[in-house]
Amino acid sequence: MNLLKPQQDSEPEEALGTAMAMVASALSDSSRVSILCALMDGRAWTATELSTVAEVSASTTSGHLARLLSNGLVVCLAQGRHRYYRLAGAHIAALLENLMGVSMQAHKTLLPSTPVNLRYARTCYDHLAGELAVNIYEFMLREKWLAADGLALTSAGKAQLERLGAVLNTRPRRKPCCPCLDWSERRFHLGGDAGSALMTLFLQKGWITRAPGYREVQVTDSGKAALSRLFNLKVSG
């Protein structure tokens, strides 16, 4: 009696293993990682801009982008004669954020070199990350704006966000709300559609500002007052 699995049963597993290895290989180059980290700010970048960030030649950048495109990590947007690149979606941003957390844990000597301002408040694709975002998330849990597992807004939480002026998508194409592990804080911040809506609100209100090309976020004076009033937070700086 042949107790071995039929060959066809193992083919999907082998294909998955090969695909995972290809993605891992695409992430194994420091220049490609620099490109992906730049795209974590949620904007679309030109190849020339990414070449500057990665500190490599235009031809090398082109090869890197082709590798990232073929593995589904970035997408290319054509507008007239110009081409722009951005992350393939929030799921890729979450993958990178988690990878940063694993890297920081494995190489703890990296922590002191991480700028304090970046650890305090930054973008994670289209939502906030860092100590500030973690504190907001924990406030929302305490006040029961979120379900205990962080996977949904409660009716009270939805009402509170709408009262603040956040525009929630009634039919989001991704998770309406989810906990996103913060790589610098090792705790969760708010992701999903609700996290995106909250950051958009903060930007529209002028409570935070962003510098083009950087993930770091600055909290304005009006933002400090608003965050203290609404989330009982004492903002540093």
Q: What are the pLDDT digits (tens) for 91-129? A: 888 888 778 777 766 655 544 455 677 788 998 888 999
> What residues have CB less than 8 Å from 14, skipping those under 6 apart?
none
Evaluate if residue 230 carries a pLDDT over 50. Answer: yes
CATH number, domain 12-88, options 3.30.470.20, 1.10.10.10, 3.40.50.720, 1.10.3720.10? 1.10.10.10
Who's near 68: CB < 8 A, 6+ residues apart?
Answer: 26, 32, 35, 36, 74, 85
What CA–CA distances, in Å, run from 90 to 39, 110, 166, 218? Answer: 11, 25, 19, 22
- Judged against a pLDDT cut of 80, whether residue 69 lies above it is answered with yes
Say what the pLDDT of residue 112 is.
45
Distance in angstroms (rounded) separating the CA atoms of residues 105 and 111: 9
Q: How many CA atoms lie within 13 A of 10 on its CB side?
A: 4
d(CA 11, CA 158): 45
Domain parsing of the chain, residue ranges:
12-88, 91-231
Residue 229 has what pLDDT? Answer: 93
Encode the chain in three state secondary structure: CCCCCCHHHHHHHHHHHHHHHHHHHHCCCHHHHHHHHHHHHCCCECHHHHHHHHCCCHHHHHHHHHHHHHCCCEEEEEECCEEEEEECCHHHHHHHHHHHHHHHHHCHHHHHHCCHHHHHCEEECCEEECHHHHHHHHHHHHCCCECCCCCCECHHHHHHHHHHCCCCCCCCCCCCCEEEECCCCCCEEEEHHHHHHHHHHHHHHCCEEECCCCCEEEECHHHHHHHHHHHCCCCCC
What is the per-residue pLDDT across 142-196, written as a single tens digit (0 to 9) for each? 999 999 999 999 999 999 999 999 999 888 777 889 888 887 787 889 988 999 9
The rounded distance, in Å, linking the Cα atoms of 97 and 171 is: 25
Here the tokens at position 84 are 């722009």
Q: What is the pLDDT of residues 202-226, one digit of tens each?
A: 999 999 998 776 788 999 999 999 9
Q: What is the pLDDT of residue 1?
A: 46
